[in-house]
Structure 1
Amino acid sequence: MCESIRPSKRPIIVTAAFSRRFYASCSTTDFQYENRTTRKTVPARNEPMETDTAPTRKERLGPKGRSTLVWLVAAAYFMDMLDGTILNTAIPTMARDFGQSPVRMQSVIIAYMLTVALLIPISGWLSDRFGTRRIFFSSIILFCAGSLLCAASTSLEMLVASRIFQGIGGSMMVPVGRLIVVKAFPRRELVRALNFVVLPALIGPLIGPTVGGVIVTFTSWHWIFLINIPVGLLVGLAILPLLPDFREKNPPPFDWWGAVLFGLSMVFISFALEGIGELHLSREMVSAFLGIGLLLFLTYWIHAFRVANPLFRPTLFRHRGFLVGILGGIFARLANGSIPFLMPLMFQVALGFSPIKSGLTLVPLFLASFIGKSAVERILARLGYKRLLLFNTLSLGVLIMSFSTIDEHTSYPVLLAHLAMLGVVNTMQFTAMNTLALLSLPREEESSGNSMLSVVIQVSLSMGIACAAAILGVYENIFGVSLHGISVAPQSDILRVFHAAFSTIGLIGVLATSIFLWTPRSAEMRKQIDRD
């Protein structure tokens, strides 16, 4: 089954990976400058801000300081997203230079992904222990150093090792950047602040494939990695003098056993999901990796209930908004995360689009997500989290199901409008789910909750692709159509497979609506926000 869904053309994989990277960038998101009626003495810039002074710490950052903060974090987001999308376009060229097949070059992407999955869980504790400024600065330096090593690689093995080193920095760069924004801004301003951070980052996936193509065509693939260094150095030099430093006054001891159990569980689960979605491993290998990952995951939670200071406290899930945001986010992303895999595949395999046309067709989806972020705050203020998430999740499922009506007779402008509507719904869904989870936590649990959210984002997007691949394979068997047999299978039969897959995945999104029935009401959310 896994083999039957593998695209026959490499550009399909590249386009799908680009789309998936964009979806990851949409994963976060009130940016009103503070009331300056209260003026207090500002401490020395490099003085750490302990969490026991949380009620006054926002007053230590004036408008200029907070504006600088969001731009620095946005630059880090941009660098991370640009790196992934540029790399995907260079894989075939790198494979030729190293004398490897493009399939083996997937190890370059998988090494980074597994390193991030392993180390994301500890980013919150490191920030609490050593301070957000130091960890954020270190993550960018490590990322840039890893980029330099990647550019200097002379073999596939050296490149994989360099990507692991780069992944150490990447695993902390985005989560800690988001954590700084969460801690620095009052809760009433969080939606707009995170929106501002993410907007520049969305440019990365938009220009990444084009920039990557130009670099590979006119220079060499080494500049794919070297382009990170000037951006990283500028951000790194600005962090130490300009960024606030948040840390816990008395952080708990590090949960080594918990970190090992949880980190390894994420590695095995992520590898199993990649095995279904892109690596096309056998069922036996996927089942083995998934079984080991789930066993380690269960063992971690048994451990977490028995120790005083676990890596992720079970008490996180006492907060209803956080629980709903996490669970709803998993199932909504299960539907949403399938789009980067299925959409380019349907365009090229079933509708006969060229890889270039397929990529350009997805641009309205990305642009609508970019533009739609500016309206999320106003809509949330008008409808509240519960009504917005109920309506939007239902709309998401219905829109995905409606792609089962797309065929060779669908006019191109109608298809573009359809994708633009999906882009607007996507950006509202991600913003509402993630800010619901973060706003529901007390200040002392923000670091742990932010790390948990990062893990969920990382894994659930892979789950979406794996789920789409599995469902597509089931319908291939039901309808007796193999995507490897494109030349002999009638177009109508191929479309039936994709239509059934979109209908099933859209139904998952519709069913996810029921989770958001438990979303706290507006009055309860206002109490959470007013705790600042």
Structure 2
Amino acid sequence: MPRYMISALVVACAMFMEQLDATVIATSLPAIALDLNEDPISLKLAMTSYLVSLAIFIPVSGWVADRFGAKNVFRAAVLVFTLGSIFCGLSRNLPELVGARIIQGLGGALMTPVGRLVLMRSVERRDLVRALSFVTIPALLGPIAGPLLGGFITTYFHWRCIFWINVPIGALGMALATFYIDNVKPDAIWPLDFRGFFLSGAGLAAMLFGLATAGRGLAPVELSLALTAIGALTLAAYAAHARRAPFPLLDLKLFSLRTFRASVLGGALFRVGIGSIPFLLPLMLQMSFGMNPFQSGSITFISSAGAMAMKGTAPHILRRFGFRWVLIVNALLSGVFLAAYGLFWPSTPILLMMGLFLVGGFIHSLEFTSLNAIVFAEIGHERMSQAVSLASVGQQLSLSLGIAAGAAALQGIAALHPGADVFAAENFRWAFLIMGLVSMSSALSFMRLPPDAGADIAGRGATQTDEIEAAGE
């Protein structure tokens, strides 16, 4: 196996550990609350504290990697995340669990962006799509496998095992990173933007907390809206600061690049729609169709097989059709499949559901891989760390907004029928349709890309293109 593929697998395993932990705790909250003698609603602070920690430290991840070296920071991030997992497993009360989750968030905030940065700087551009196809899978598997694994472990073992399984994975990740990841860093390092760090961290923390609690019973609606508004205003203040700062923490000038702008802004619409799936789908299968958590997880987990099948075909698809057409067509197809999930009824054959989840997993994964690759098409090595940090912020915000938007769509449709059951199958039909249209709208942004966007990454150089056309392919 090529060295760059081993590096990609190391990063993918670390990202899977982070994505899995971000969702697995949701299924186990009632059992954790009972064991710690806490109210389940109060215990959800363990989820939001993780998001807040993530939001504060993601923007500074690029600077830290440049200052201390990508490999050093990646290993340290895996270690911090693993230690946070150990502390979670040892927690005896709510304050200890919340504190441990904050430590996990610090590790996760550095682990995911820096892991992606490692690949950007160590993988040849022609191999980038193949490497990223492995790294993209955790983003899809985590939200799907989390509830399934969390329900299984909590039911048949103990909730503390959820966190203990991270220990051997983290130890293996640190060992492999030592041998297979290069400690790349630039020759020149810009000064840390302390004011930008405060504004971006405070703004993202407030906005993510507000979005994470909106429509999920974690906080009063007024508080969620207020926090979201405060976060937006603080981020606007950061934008004003970034225009004047000589070395902004998050360089907003990157949005002048067409491929970066399309991937982050257009990709945000796609992620908002797809980000609603981990919220809407389990609710529909459990609350409307009467399945238990393990049953619903066993059905939806088949989409991971589709995601795995994508990793070997993505480079060939992109080389044949190019980024522009793949992003446009795939966004439309993804929206259609997302809307189709709302057409399920309790009487729908399980095999039909699983077949659509399988194909949907392939399509969603292909779009994520394409977005994660083309975002760096016009980025030089000197701006790579800033690009990774800013792209990671956009991804985290859009996925969090996806859950809030899915909840808002479901509750909004239910409000049109006062007195009716919120979890009626008819409400899910319209909610999935709305979120499918949101994902499809991202195609408008991708249409503005030039036909040769990301040609060198897709392996569609002039010579290759001529050969393909000559062969009549």
Same fold (TM over 0.5): yes
CA distance in structure 2 between the aligned counterparts of 1:228 and 1:510, rounded to whole angstroms: 36
The match for 2:451 is 521
Correspondence list, 1:134-149, <5 A: 134-149=72-87
Report the CA distance shift for 1:82/1:499 in structure 2 as closer, same or farther (over 3 A).
closer
How far does the alpha carbon of each residue in 1:391-432 deviate from its partner, in whole angstroms, 9 at most, with x for none?
Answer: 111112222223343234433322222222221211111111
Question: CA, structure 1 residues 279+458, in 2 after alignment: closer, same or farther (shift >3 Å)?
Answer: farther
Distance 1:246 1:93 in 2: 43
Provide the alpha-carbon RMSD of the alignment: 2.4
Distance in 1 between the 2:113 and 2:220 partners? 33
Equivalent pairs: percent with the same residue? 33
The counterpart of 2:88, out of the listed 147, 150, 165, is 150
List gaps (5 residues or longer) in structure 2: 462-473
* Cα distance, 1:259–1:272 mapped onto 2, change above 3 Å: same
* Alignment match, 1:159: 97
Letter of the 2:440 partner, please give it: V
Distance 1:523 1:108, change over 3 A: closer
Counterpart of 2:428 in structure 1 is 498
Q: Which has the larger radius of gyration?
A: 1
TM score, norm. by length of structure 2:
0.90
**Inter-CA distance 266–205: structure 2 relative to 1 (3 Å threshold):** closer
What's the counterpart of residue 114 of structure 1?
A: 52
Distance change >3 Å, CA 68–CA 504, structure 1 → 2: closer
Which piece of structure 1 moves more, 208-217 or 184-193? 208-217
Greater alpha carbon shift after TM alignment, 449-458 vs 209-218: 209-218
Distance 1:340 1:259 in 2: 31
Quick check: 1:479–1:497 contact (8 Å CA) kept in 2?
A: no
Is the partner of 2:60 in helix, strand or coil?
A: helix
Contact 1:90 1:221 in 2 (8 A): yes
TM-score, normalising length from structure 1? 0.81
Counterpart-to-counterpart distance in 2, 1:341 and 1:399: 16
Residue of 390, 402, 408 corresponding to 1:452 = 390
Residue number in structure 1 paired with 2:125: 187
Please, which runs of 5 or more residues in structure 1 have no aligned partner? 1-32, 34-62, 487-493
* Per-residue deviation, 1:283: 3.0
Aligned CA distance change for structure 1 residues 168 and 411 (closer, same or farther; 3 Å): same
* Higher mean C-alpha deviation, range 179-188 or range 220-229: 220-229
Cα drift, residue 258 of structure 1: 0.5
Match of 1:512 among 433, 437, 442: 442
Paired with 2:118 and 2:191, the residues of 1 have a C-alpha distance of 22
Partner of 1:389: 327
Cα deviation code 1:145-170 (max 9, x no counterpart): 22222222221111111111122111
1:401 counterpart (329, 332, 339): 339
Distance 1:481 1:497, change over 3 A: farther
Partner of 2:62: 124
CA–CA distance in 1 between the matches of 2:153 and 2:342?
37
1:175 aligns with 2:113: yes
Equivalent of 2:275, from 327, 332, 337? 337
Which amino acid is 2:329 matched to? F
Q: Which residue of 2 aligns with 1:475?
A: 413
Query: 2:319 touches 2:458 (CA, 8 Å); kept in 1?
Result: no
Call closer, same or farther: CA 1:481–1:149 in 2, change over 3 Å.
Answer: same
Distance in 2 of aligned mates of 1:383 and 1:528: 9
Give distance in 1, aligned partners of 2:343 and 2:188: 58
AA paired with 1:92?
P
8 A Cα contact 2:128 2:373, kept in partner: yes
Residues matched between the structures, number = 460
Counterpart position of 1:360: 298
Q: Is the 8 A contact 2:132 2:372 kept in 1?
A: no
**Cα distance change on mapping 1:416 and 1:134 into 2, 3 Å:** same
Task: Name the counterpart of 1:81.
Answer: 19
CA distance in 2, matches of 1:210, 1:503: 25
Tell me if structure 2 keeps the 8 A contact 1:440–1:525: no
> SS of the counterpart of 2:404?
helix
SS of structure 2 residue aligned to 1:129:
helix
Of 51, 55, 71, which residue of structure 2 is paired with 1:133? 71
Question: Is structure 2 residue 306 aligned with structure 1 residue 375?
Answer: no
Q: After superposing the two structures, state which structure 1 stretch, 303-312 or 137-146, moved more.
A: 137-146
1:419 aligns with 2:357: yes
